[in-house]
Amino acid sequence: MVDIVIKEGKIVTPTDIYEADIGIKDGKIVEIARNIEAKAEQVIDASGKYVLPGAIDPHTHMELPFMGTTSADDFEAGTIAAAFGGVTTIIDFAIQPKGKSFMDTIEIWRGKADPKVVIDYSLHVAVTDLNEERMAELSKVLDYGVTSFKLFMPYRKEGLMSDDGRLYAMLDASREHRFLVQVHAENAPVLEYLVEKFLREGKKTPEYHALSRPNFVEGEAIQRAIYLAHATNGNLYIVHMSTKEGLVAVAESLNKGFPIYAETFPHYLVLTEEKYYGPDGRHYVMSPPLRSRADIEVLWKGLASEKIVTVGSDHCPFNSEQKAMGKDDFTKIPNGVPGTEVIIPILYSEGVRRDIITINQLVKFTSYNVAKLFGLYPRKGTIAVGADADITILDPNYEMELSVENLHTKIDYSIYDGMKVKGVPTTTICRGKPIVLNREFVGKKGEGQFIPRSRFTGL
């Protein structure tokens, strides 16, 4: 007797597609076979559909206090949206408050997340206050199961920035202690100079957000971070890469045989900087900003050639009232957009359907690679006997407009309004429990778990 049998779906792994049934018991996959005869409490028919390992969104900011407000999706709303997008685990950023230890930071974030999450989650620490005491704390944090640390190269005035010395120190430590250093790569002094210049000239409309962060601002910072990674032999992951300049720098390192792990997001794959000139320009303000059509094409090529290895979301939505805080000054617009629910629909519809990437690659970018890099594999990131039963059933014929009515983020607009996708997750199962069943939410607040992660071992 098993709890659930998923019948006749096409199972997708990084290398294969094959038709089989999946038996689930006590939250684990217990059998994969052509025809499972065992009695099941629940049978889910997946005929004509793809069965994928649950997506792991490596980059979210639920209920994040930022720029004088808090992102609009709390851990409940945000993980419900994620589940509708086929995501079964998020890795959120616990942002270190000044003066707090890393362990205190993790406790603060667990206090917010544990009672609310409907799917599993883990945490990265976003480092803002690095000193000798914190460096000495690293082993404890790694043993606890947090094995990745983000450093901000910009946000000097906001008090989040790590200078090159601190970035060097963390990259150096990452080799010995086996963790991953994530960087938000933008050149702080240059972008600050441009912001101040535009403000002085009275240029305060949303397009100046993008114009103050031109491609080279990201490209230079990525090159610098890679240079420091080479110097230390450190483990470097570039979060939210948005430019062709960034990809060129990553590709150069890969050609030398030195791995650099790059991540991008759905909004950088389909939206362009023209959005900043529209009436709702401020709704599209995030950092780094949207880029050109040429950058979009290069990012898709980066995925096709697997120079970019993960696709997350940077899910950090603000409603129109919050975005209006910056209606007269682009520097006061809270930075962030939703995205966790559209990772798979956009990758499938715009990537797989158009033959730019394969569905096996989609599984790598959204699940397998993320699990490998962030220490969740083989518990998650795969469909195999013994793994957690984290499963996404994708209906390749399900058509949907990415409108405010169809999406589950709490905000009152959609940055994708009017865009149609074909190929949408219809059922999402986390540790053997259906969270979304045939597009109905059947999960429960607080049923997701904090998942400790193992140390970095590469891809």
Closest approach, Cβ 398 to Zn ion, in A, equals 29
Choose among 77, 75, 144: nearest CA to 107: 144
What tokens appear for 157 in the block? 């005035």
Backbone dihedral angles phi then psi of residue 197, each to the nearest 5 degrees: -60, -50
Closest approach, Cβ 297 to Zn ion, in A, equals 24
Compute CA distances 239 → 60, 179, 312, whole Å.
Answer: 11, 15, 9
Compute CA distances 242 → 218, 245, 247, 262, whole Å.
Answer: 8, 9, 8, 10
Which residue number places its CB atom closest to Zn ion?
314
Closest approach, Cβ 315 to Zn ion, in A, equals 9
Please identify, using beta-carbon distances, which residue of 207 and 314 lies nearer to Zn ion.
Answer: 314
What type of residue is 133? E
Closest approach, Cβ 271 to Zn ion, in A, equals 17
Please identify, using beta-carbon distances, which residue of 264 and 427 lies nearer to Zn ion.
Answer: 264
Please identify, using beta-carbon distances, which residue of 253 and 340 lies nearer to Zn ion.
Answer: 340
Q: Is 57 in the site for Zn ion (CB under 5 A)?
A: no
What span, in angstroms and rounded, lies between the C-alpha atoms of 438 and 398? 11
What span, in angstroms and rounded, lies between the C-alpha atoms of 196 and 190? 10
Q: Is 314 in the site for Zn ion (CB under 5 A)?
A: yes
What span, in angstroms and rounded, lies between the C-alpha atoms of 212 and 271? 18
Contact yes or no for 318/411 (Cβ under 8 A): yes
What type of residue is 363? V
Strand locations in 232-351 (E): 236-238, 261-264, 308-311
What tokens appear for 416 in the block? 């994708």
Site stretch for Zn ion (CB under 5 A), options 194-202, 291-299, 306-314, 436-444: 306-314
Contact yes or no for 303/270 (Cβ under 8 A): no
Site stretch for Zn ion (CB under 5 A), options 217-225, 309-317, 409-417, 418-426: 309-317
Closest approach, Cβ 314 to Zn ion, in A, equals 4
Please identify, using beta-carbon distances, which residue of 2 and 373 lies nearer to Zn ion.
Answer: 373
Please identify, using beta-carbon distances, which residue of 174 and 340 lies nearer to Zn ion.
Answer: 340
Site stretch for Zn ion (CB under 5 A), options 40-48, 201-209, 245-253, 314-322: 314-322
Please identify, using beta-carbon distances, which residue of 314 and 388 lies nearer to Zn ion.
Answer: 314
Closest approach, Cβ 66 to Zn ion, in A, equals 10
Please identify, using beta-carbon distances, which residue of 120 and 314 lies nearer to Zn ion.
Answer: 314
Q: Is 73 in the site for Zn ion (CB under 5 A)?
A: no
Compute CA distances 120 → 61, 88, 113, 116, 438, whole Å.
Answer: 15, 6, 10, 11, 20
Please identify, using beta-carbon distances, which residue of 273 and 314 lies nearer to Zn ion.
Answer: 314
Site stretch for Zn ion (CB under 5 A), options 76-84, 204-212, 308-316, 338-346: 308-316
Closest approach, Cβ 129 to Zn ion, in A, equals 18
Backbone dihedral angles phi then psi of residue 391, each to the nearest 5 degrees: -140, 140
Closest approach, Cβ 59 to Zn ion, in A, equals 6
Number of residues that bind Zn ion (CB under 5 A): 1
The binding site for Zn ion (CB under 5 A) comprises 314
